[in-house]
Amino acid sequence: MISGHEQRSHSMTEMPASVCPSASPADASGERALVFVARGLTKTYGSGPTAVQALRGVDMEVRAGEFIVLLGASGSGKSTLLNILGGLDHASGGVARWRDHDLTTADDAQLTRYRREHVGFVFQFYNLIPSLTARENVALVTELAAHPMDPAQALALVGLGERLDHFVSQLSGGEQQRVAIARAIAKRPDTLLCDEPTGALDCATGILVLQALEKVNREVGTTVIVITHNAPIAGIADRMMRLADGRIVETVVNARRLEAAVLSW
Ligand SMILES: Nc1ncnc2c1ncn2[C@@H]1O[C@H](COP(=O)(O)OP(=O)(O)OP(=O)(O)O)[C@@H](O)[C@H]1O
Ligand SMILES: [Mg+2]
C-alpha cells in the first residue's frame, strides 16, 4: 500500500478560504470529507446572440476517495464542468469549492497553484514528449512536486514497471495513456480528473487504462472523476452522474463496483 494524500495538509496559499463544516477528514456522521461541492454552477461562453450556456446550474458533491463517472451527450457540459473543478476555467455563476477553498473567486495565480499542487489531469490524447522515456516524462513532473512518488513507483503502479526506459514513441496507445496516468499521480494529487481517457483506445486497451485508474483509487486513495461516452464504464464507479444540457439529470449509486476487467463496450 502506497501512502497517499491523506497525511498531507490541503494548503492553497492565499486562496480564499471560508468555513466549510465538512472539510475535516470525516464529518460527524462518519462520512468521508467533501472534496468538491458545486451549487448552482453556471458557465456561459461568449455573449449576446452567440452566447452558449454550457452549464445551467450544476449541484453536485464528491467525497474523498470516490470514483465518479460523468456521462452525457456531446456538448452536454462534461468537459466544462471538469475544467472548472480542475481550476482550468472560471465559472460564470454559482459556487464551486474544493475542500474549504472557493474556486469561483480564486484568481489565475491561485488556480495555477491549486492545479499544480492538488490536481492530476488525464486527457484523451496523452500529451507526452515522444523523445523522452516513460521515466523521463514522469520525472518532468516529479522534479517540481513537493512530495512526489519516485517515477518508477508511479509507473509500476500503472503496470509499466517493465517499460521504464522505453521511449514513449515505442509504446502502444494504452501504454502511453498509462504513462500519462503515472505522470498525473506521481505528484500525489488530491484528485485525478480524466476527460475521456479511453476515448482513443479499443475496449481491451481501455480496460487496462481503467484498471490503472481503479488501482490508483483503491491503493493511493485518490478521488477520481472520469468522463466517458461509454455507458458500461459507469459500472466501475461509486456513482454515475449524467449531464444533459448543462445540468445533472441523473445520479446512480452503485451498491457494488464492478471490476474494469469484466466490462465490454
Ligand atoms: N471555449 C468555448 N467557447 C465557446 N463555446 C464553448 C467553449 N467550450 C465549450 N463550448 C460549448 O459549451 C458546450 C459544452 O461543451 P463541453 O465541451 O463541456 O461538452 P462535452 O459534454 O464535454 O462534449 P463532448 O462529449 O463532445 O466532449 C458546447 O455547446 C460547446 O460548444
Ligand atoms: Mg468534452
pLDDT, tens only, 150-167? 999 999 999 999 999 999
The domain containing residue 214 runs over which residues? 65-89+118-262
- Establish if 36 belongs to a structural domain: no
Question: Is the beta carbon of 72 within 6 A of some atom in ligand 1?
Answer: yes
- Establish if 195 belongs to a structural domain: yes
Which amino acid residue places its CA nearest to atom 25 of ligand 1? 74
Select from 191, 211, 192, 193 the least CA-distant residue to 201: 211
* Distance of CA 150 from the midpoint of ligand 2 (Å): 31
- The pLDDT of residue 144 is 86
Is the predicted pLDDT of residue 193 greater than 70, yes or no?
yes
* Distance of CA 54 from the midpoint of ligand 1 (Å): 6
- Establish if 145 belongs to a structural domain: yes
Mean pLDDT, range 14-32, rounded to an integer? 53
- Establish if 35 belongs to a structural domain: no
- Establish if 45 belongs to a structural domain: no
The CATH code of the domain that includes 191 is 3.40.50.300
Q: What is the pLDDT of residues 93-111, one digit of tens each?
A: 999 999 999 999 999 999 9
- Establish if 40 belongs to a structural domain: no
Of the listed ligands, the closest to the CA of 54 is 1
Split into its structural domains, the chain has a count of 1
Q: What is the pLDDT of residues 33-88, one digit of tens each?
A: 999 999 999 999 999 999 999 999 999 999 999 999 999 999 999 999 999 999 99
* Distance of CA 188 from the midpoint of ligand 2 (Å): 25
- The pLDDT of residue 83 is 98
Question: Is the beta carbon of 25 within 6 A of some atom in ligand 1?
Answer: no
- Establish if 9 belongs to a structural domain: no
- Establish if 17 belongs to a structural domain: no
